[in-house]
Structure 1
Amino acid sequence: MRAAFRSSVVRLDLRFFSQESLKAPDNAPRAAANEQWLDHLKKSKRDPRIASNLSESREELTDDTHQSNEFPINILSIPPETHYINVESSLANFTSMKYLGTFNKHKHRQGNFADVRIIKCRSGGGGDGAVSFFRDAGRSIGPPDGGDGGDGGSIYVQAVEGLNSLSKLRTTYIAEDGSNGGADQLDGARGKDMLITVPVGTVIRWCMDPKSTRDFIQKQRPSSGNGSSVRSVLHKSMVKLQCRGRFELDPIPRCIQLFRNSYRPGEGWIFKGKDEVYHNDKEWFIDLNKKVESYDMSLYDTELEEDTFPLFGLDLGKPTKKPICLLKGGKGGLGNMHFLTNLIRNPRFAKSGRAGLEQYFMLELKSIADLGLVGLPNAGKSTILNRISNARPRIGHWEFTTLTPTIGTIDLGLGEACFTVADIPGIVKDASNDKGLGLEFLRHIERSRGWVFVISIANDDPMADLQTLINELGGIEKAKSKNVLVVCNKADIDFDKEHPINKFNEIAEFCKEHSWDILPMSALKGENVDILVKKMAKCAQATGHF
């Protein structure tokens, strides 16, 4: 899939100017001040400098991005061969299976919990500059006094404590446009910003439009054969992106370059009275437009620096003190008061405001729990969590009782550190191929220090069940990166017979080979619960194998 994330691209050489020399004069400029400003525009030269395109807060979050948030990319070209670092990656990295519900037969919801949301964000466009002239009793038309348009509002995000779900998020966030300039040199009001508050542990990624993705999959599935799953189509289809690094010729992609659908430098004029054809035929306007084109170019360069988003997303693993800007609002247009010169006495034209920016973002909530409780459906995970914590998950005798993650807190008593446990929906064989509930909730235990595998010793082959869990979670090497505790639940069922004991001994030998701890218990009868809590506390606090 060759999906372009940009609605419009203006292909121009990157130029960098001194922003102070190109800044338009403040309100009430005289002709001499405008002449000086326009002269600076005419003489402006390129200023090669490091183009840092991230705010300090965003830079820090990008550097601290968890390794699990990264995904494979192919670098197609780098500067100076191309202006940008052209990369491609699988479509699966830029969408969510939950938003492909037409094809996902295992779409489950429980309560008001939501851990994945795709939202559309649009920053406000800048207001237009005004064409106006001063009037009083002595003269019908005085000097130009049209004010500048207000800047458009921006989209901000902030991670705050106290939230535990993304269910309250809206599907669309639109910042306010800037107001148009007015007479008497009145600048337009700045558009109101939009602030999005999310739970701590949220990862924000740039993503594709869900509707476009669904339409694409509908067209691709018939040609891929009846046996192809949605996930296979997503992994085979590629998205091409233009990226940039820390500095101008950096070959390592760090940020996706976003583009506005705005006017080109030298365009965007608003005429009053005489039209564009009339003005483009006048030498004085052609000369003026060449100078103002440098001002437009400086705005375009500023937008390129600001309109970026980290390739591997923003990881809001801790509360953010200040809101982080996702999309910057458009700059307001210049009023006609800036175009008064010794030659141009009655400028009947002004500049339009710059367009805002519209993008889609995928928000994933990754619970920050000390331990992850993992098991096959109906292994007794929820019963265990109910016994040892203040969480009250739904418990039943049918598979997939737990449809959403449950976070429980275990308090060891006065003077002891408490720890948290995440109970995720049961994992079955071939979950990675969309069977059962899939691996949609694995994100909630990615950051955990330890994993607690819950195995039902009453099953025919509990050792095979353990192998299934390990394989579906990424294999033995992935499991070795965690502290692991294996809990053999339902040990009260015929445990006095030889066969259940042999099954337990087989698992115990496997755990010994990998330096994992193991415990038999009965969550239903409350047997070995105290020992389990102590072992889980050790697993949660240990820094290595125990």
Structure 2
Amino acid sequence: MASRCSGSHSLFLPFLYPSLFVSRATSASRLATRTIASRRHSSTHVAQEPPSSRLNPAPDDYASPNFADKASLTLYAGPGGHGCISFMRDAYLPDGPPNGGDGGHGGNIYIQAVHGETSLHKLARRRFIRAGRGKTGQGSAKGGQRGEDVIITVPVGTVLRELEREDPVAEEAVLQRALRAKRKAEKRAKREREEELARRELVMTDEEIEEDRLIEEERKAKKPELEDDEPEDPERHKWLLYPGLSKSDLKTIALPKAPRRQRLYHQPPGPIQIDLSRPSPQPILLATGGVGGLGNPHFVSREFPRPIFATKGERAVTMQIELELKLLADVGLVGLPNAGKSTLLRALTNSRTRVGNWAFTTLQPNIGTVVLDNYKGRPVIKSYKRYPAAASSTGSHEEEVRVEQRTRFTVADIPGLIEGAHLDRGLGMEFLRHVERAAVLAFVIDLSAGPAVKALDALWREVGLYAQMREEEERDREVDSRIDWDLASNGDTQRPYGGNMMIADAPETPKEESGLHITAKPWFVVATKADLPETQENFKQLKEYLEKINNGTAPHPSGVEKGTWTENCAVIPVSAIHGQGVDRIVHWTVGLLDE
């Protein structure tokens, strides 16, 4: 006889008799606890590494934050809501007066520069921005709800350029002008034709007159529409008719002249170009929403005592814009590929940017923050920043300066530059614009990669040529915008759809050309890998070259003669991978920022 507890039934023993397996499970759990504890102990031991290891991390030990410095968006302002066709009905008033409400206005689209944003990657993913649609009016004279506005928040330093625009109101105004001109031309041609026929009748015989009459009747028979008939109303599409009307009534119904509406907000003239180089105190209007339609009470008259029509909501503006971010860092690190910029950023800040012993490790700009005062005792360095006050309470013309303690400053690491970077070689032109707005430039030179003086001259040459090219582009763009809105152009400055045209100021007298603005920035040199013994001679030559620039015996490396910074050009030797000499960079940068 087979045993009931054979091998085939041993699978169910832990469920039938759990007490037999308690001791075995307890010992297994103790063993697992010891294993987990040993693993925790080993991982804790590995985490406690010396501080210098953070500057020479493993290839996979880095953080790659989401970053985008360009975004193309299509903006759709909210269209207006339709007006309502409604009549009051009561117990003793079956055919009451009209009481349809007006449609709500569409939402607007604004843009605002704020401090909290650091990238355009969220907007680059969205691609489309839509404001709220105005709600349709209701009975009992209830107006429709207004569409929700949309505020696009961007980082400080964003440049906005309008690429394309579709404005239904402006297009309709152009069509109306063309239609009026066409009607005038038709009336003039008809009058001239009648005068010509009258002159011919004076000299024509009765037979010729009868022949012309027959020809005219044949022409009219072939063309059913008579010339003297009124053309179809071009504004008929604006009307909303009562849904209970038959098809014949829809074609023959008489409509009043469509009212001319004025926008609640004035649409800025195009093309829009905004440089958000400082935080916006209030949002800036980009696209205006459509005006809501009118309910049927607006059209009560002696001719239409019970109007069975209302107006539709106005279509809104559609716009395509391009956003370009220029980082507003206090210090910009400029250097050749694999010069040690990312390692230097790790040594200065708490950044976890990628570090590697190969060129073009950095493929996108990285920003780190140097903390001067962490509010835990005395600050490391006392620094103060000065900027113009927002508004002056007194009536004096002197510009007020506001002083505030500097608790931190930012450092931007851009990808390495190669020869011809200003001509879009390598990754230069894509990220060189981030250097334009840095308050201080720090040129990172690798002392072990060849002559340091030659490397510094090559970097300055690329930066200077790029700045010169950007200045020429801005000058050409400014001239084009002034031509579009010149005061000398013919035509009325009053827009046909309401509001006044915004005319640009007259061009100023050109000033004497000085040095490019980027060459006037304070700058210094950071010489990396200075701990290697074979780099001492190279560092000595670089230091002598900077002393010649300070004394005026050597020209500025960019080649610009006027307006360049040649007062206190210094070189700071560091070993970023060991964290040596980094504190001198912080003190020197704070001194330049305070100036």
1:278 is matched with which residue? 252
- In structure 2, the partner of 1:416 is 382
* 8 Å Cα contact 1:457-1:503 kept in structure 2: no
Is this contact kept in 2: 1:258–1:309, CA < 8 A?
no
1:509 and 1:393, CA in 2 relative to 1: closer, same or farther beyond 3 A?
A: farther
User: What's the CA shift for 1:165?
Assistant: 1.9
* Contact 2:381/2:587 (<8 A) preserved: no
Q: Is 1:201 the equivalent of 2:157?
A: yes
Conserved 8 A contact 1:463-1:507: no
Match of 1:523 in 2: 576
Cα displacement (A) at 1:306? 1.9
Counterpart of 1:112 (choices 43, 49, 66) is: 66
Equivalences for 1:176-187 in 2 at 5 Å? 176-187=132-143
Deviations 1:86-126 (A, max 9, x none): xxxxxxxxxxxxxxxxxxxxxxx953112222222111100
Distance 2:368 2:414 in 1: 11
5 Å-filtered alignment, 1:321-470, equals 321-412=281-372, 413-414=379-380, 416-417=382-383, 418-470=408-460
Which residues of 2 match residues 134-213 of structure 1 at below 5 A? 134-138=88-92, 140-169=94-123, 170-207=126-163
Identity of aligned residues (%): 39
Gaps of 5+ in 2: 1-62, 177-234, 373-378, 384-407, 466-514, 557-565
The within-5 A match list for 1:50-89 is none
What letter matches 1:485 in structure 2?
A: F
Letter of the structure 2 residue corresponding to residue 197 of structure 1: T
Q: Which runs of 5+ in 1 are unaligned?
A: 1-108, 209-255
2:156–2:276 Cα contact (<8 Å) kept: no
CA distance in 2, matches of 1:394, 1:313: 34
AA of the residue aligned to 2:291: K
Structure 1 residues 371 and 310, CA, compared in 2 at 3 Å: closer, same or farther? farther
Cα distance change of structure 1 residues 139 and 496 upon mapping to structure 2, 3 Å threshold: closer
CA distance in 2, matches of 1:192, 1:477: 45
Quickly say closer, same or farther: Cα 1:463–1:323, change in 2 above 3 A. same
Confirm or deny: 8 A CA contact 1:263 1:354 kept in the other structure. Answer: no
2:489 aligned residue: none
Change (3 A) 1:435 1:493: same
Deviations 1:430-451 (A, max 9, x none): 1233322132223333222211
Rounded Cα–Cα distance in structure 1 between residues aligned with 2:456 and 2:593: 20
Are 1:537 and 2:593 an aligned pair?
no
Could you tell me which residue of structure 1 aligns to residue 405 of structure 2? none
Instruction: Give the SS at the match of 1:440.
Output: helix
Greater displacement, 427-436 / 371-380: 427-436
State the alpha-carbon separation in 2 of the partners of residues 512 and 391 from structure 1: 37
Instruction: Give the match for residue 22 of structure 1.
Output: none
User: 2:519 — aligned with what?
Assistant: 480
The corresponding residue for 2:274 is 313
Residues 172 and 378 of structure 1: CA distance in aligned 2, closer, same or farther (over 3 Å): same
CA RMSD of aligned residues (A): 3.0
> 1: distance between equivalents of 2:97 and 2:529?
89
> Aligned match of 1:492 in 506, 527, 531?
531
- Residues 511, 276 of structure 1: alpha-carbon distance in 2 compared, 3 angstrom cutoff: farther
After superposition, the Cα gap between the structure-2 partners of 1:358 and 1:529, relative to the gap in structure 1 and judged at 3 Å, is same
2:239 to 269, 285, 292: 269
Instruction: Find the aligned partners of 1:448 and 1:427 in 2 and give their Cα distance.
Output: 17
Task: State the alpha-carbon separation in 1 of the partners of residues 381 and 538 from structure 2.
Answer: 43
Cα deviation per residue 1:326-364 (whole Å; 9 max; x = unaligned)? 222111011111101123212121111111111122223
Distance 1:397 1:123, change over 3 A: same
Q: Distance in 1 between matches of 2:381 and 2:275?
A: 36
User: Matched residues in 2 for 1:532 and 1:399: separation?
Assistant: 24
Aligned-residue offset at 1:457? 2.1
Deviations 1:366-397 (A, max 9, x none): 32221111111111112222222233322111
Aligned-pair CA distance for 1:510: 4.4
Q: CA offset at residue 534 of structure 1?
A: 2.1
Match of 1:509 in 2: 548
Q: What is the Cα deviation at residue 492 of structure 1?
A: 3.3
Amino acid at match of 2:382: E
Task: Provide the C-alpha distance between the structure 1 equivalents of 2:550 and 2:439, rounded to a whole number of angstroms.
Answer: 18
Whole-Å separation in 2 of the counterparts to 1:518 and 1:115: 31
Measured in 2, the distance between the counterparts of 1:527 and 1:123 equals 55
Mapped partners of 1:143, 1:497: distance in 2: 96
Secondary structure at the aligned position of 1:419 is classed as: strand
Query: How far did 1:454 drift?
Result: 1.0
1:439-488 deviation line (CA, Å, top 9, x unaligned)? 22233332222111111122233333222222222348444210011222
The answer to which of 129-138 and 355-364 deviates more is 129-138
- Contact conserved, 2:103 with 2:292, CA < 8 A, in 1? yes
User: SS where residue 473 of structure 1 aligns?
Assistant: helix
Name the amino acid aligned to 2:583. Answer: D
